[in-house]
Amino acid sequence: MLSTGEPSESDPERESGDPTLTVRGLTKRYGDTVALQDVDLTVEEGEFVAVVGPSGCGKSTLLRVLSGLEESFGGRAAVDGVDVRDGGSDDVGMVFQEPRLLAWADVRENVAVGLPDGVDPDAPGAQERVNELIETVGLDGFAGSRPGELSGGMAQRVSLARGLAYRPEVLLLDEPFSALDQLTKYEQQDNLLEVWTERGTTIALVTHDVEEAAYLADRVLVLGGEPGTVATVIDVDTPRPRDRTHPEVVAARDAITDALGV
Ligand SMILES: Nc1ncnc2c1ncn2[C@@H]1O[C@H](COP(=O)(O)OP(=O)(O)OP(=O)(O)O)[C@@H](O)[C@H]1O
């Protein structure tokens, strides 16, 4: 279940050895529209998986199911071995495709919303943490700005900082860099890799950007078709830290592009 709560004690229902994310035979309908058909996915603890596919193939739907936002679906989706319909894990953070910021609150307050429950934004250390995140996403100088005063890319970075504030064990990211210029995108991708490396976070990232998928992920799930199904899975075994121009990264990008049929 999506939460801004304090990281919980180990879930007693969790069986050791369970993958962090498990999806089996997932089918999701919206009325007559079948968004996903019979999708399987396993993401092990600390793994970085990217999900790519054409517009409308069900990428966001997959993340919404995993985050506990969808109750009605066929098949099974579990986080830390606990079915999302039974609450999943408390330690899941999601960054949505649209920034979803509080219009009346400034950047500092919007980021502070992501702090774990019980942490008073005025408590010692909390402001430092918020300021650090604002700096990480390159928005120092805009801490007192309201969303209406920010560009789309800046708003997206506030949303990312809010998602990172909670320090979840699992991060579900829906196109978190899509509104960024190339240079800022590269910086933010590397920031995310740093967070992932430092904390061992398990990440599922939806993206339209094949270079991004090849550079960041251990494994790339390519969805396709209508309804969306798994077209193929591509492993990216290139050692880290990676060079964006490493022949294996380039080969992975080409393999993803081929699988997408573009
Ligand atoms: N709330 C909803 N009600 C009805 N149909 C929906 C809803 N959400 C998604 N859909 C439909 O489900 C399908 C998958 O949508 P989804 O947003 O998951 O695709 P996507 O791959 O993330 O697309 P994009 O890359 O454009 O963001 C689409 O046909 C979409 O129209």
Query: Residue 216 is inside which H or E element, if any?
Result: helix 210-216
Q: 1-91+169-262 is classed in which CATH architecture?
A: 3-Layer(aba) Sandwich (3.40)
Mean pLDDT across 77-106: 91
Q: Is the CB of 61 under 6 A from ligand 1?
A: yes
Q: Is the CB of 229 under 6 A from ligand 1?
A: no
What percent of the chain stands above pLDDT 70? 92
Summarize pLDDT for 115-158 with one digit per residue, the tens: 876 567 677 788 899 999 999 999 999 999 999 999 999 999 99
Asked whether the ipTM of the predicted complex exceeds the cut of 0.90, the reply is: yes
Q: What is the pLDDT of residue 117?
A: 64
Residue owning the nearest CA to atom 25 of ligand 1: 55
Mean pLDDT across 38-50: 97
Q: What is the pLDDT of residue 207?
A: 98
Angle at Cα 166 formed by Cα 175 and Cα 114, nearest 5°? Answer: 75
Sorting pLDDT into bands at 50, 70 and 90, what band is 225?
confident
Cα(195)–Cα(146) distance, integer angstroms: 26
Mean pLDDT across 170-189: 96
Mean pLDDT across 186-200: 94
More confident residue, 51 or 123: 51
Residue owning the nearest CA to atom 24 of ligand 1: 55
Q: What is the pLDDT of residue 223?
A: 97
11 CA distance to ligand 1 middle (Å): 32
63 CA distance to ligand 1 middle (Å): 11
Query: Domain coordinates of the chain in residue numbers?
Result: 1-91+169-262, 93-167
Cα(15)–Cα(13) distance, integer angstroms: 6
Sorting pLDDT into bands at 50, 70 and 90, what band is 4?
very low
Q: Is the CB of 72 under 6 A from ligand 1?
A: no
Cα(101)–Cα(42) distance, integer angstroms: 31
Residue owning the nearest CA to atom 31 of ligand 1: 56
Q: What is the pTM of this model?
A: 0.91
43 CA distance to ligand 1 middle (Å): 22
Give the burial string for 158-194 (b: 16+ CB within 10 Å, else e): bbbbbbbbbbbbbbbbbbbbbbbeeebbbbbbebbbe
16 CA distance to ligand 1 middle (Å): 34
